[in-house]
Amino acid sequence: MQLKGPNHSHRLRGPVPFIAPGQTEVPPFEAAECLFADDERLAAPGSAAPLFLIPPVLACLSLGLLLVGIRSWRKRCWQRAWREYYSLVSLACIGFVAFLGYWGLF
């Protein structure tokens, strides 16, 4: 499909986005999917493959942080302030992993 106009000289590829009756605009993710589907210029190079290991490793380390934090509270290993700080860091890591999972960045 060829769009006409000064800013639309490119061709759309991929599936055409579904627009429900009464909907005035295309959802942004569907529009991006149509514009950039099968575009090799946007693919990650092979040298970037190790970067895709970071989210699963981060998820495992976050689980380890949580387990060490629970153990520190049960055995009272550190001062209370350090245990609270460690717990906040653990919760921040788990929240970040949840954020990555929500946006499909795993």
Specify the pLDDT at position 51.
84
Taking the CB of residue 97, how many other CB atoms lie within 10 A of it?
A: 20
> Of all residues in the chain, what percent carry a pLDDT higher than 70?
59
Of 26-30, 71-75, 77-81, the poorest mean pLDDT is in 26-30
CA 37, CA 43: separation in Å to the nearest integer? 10
pTM as predicted? 0.54
Distance CA 62, CA 11 (A): 43
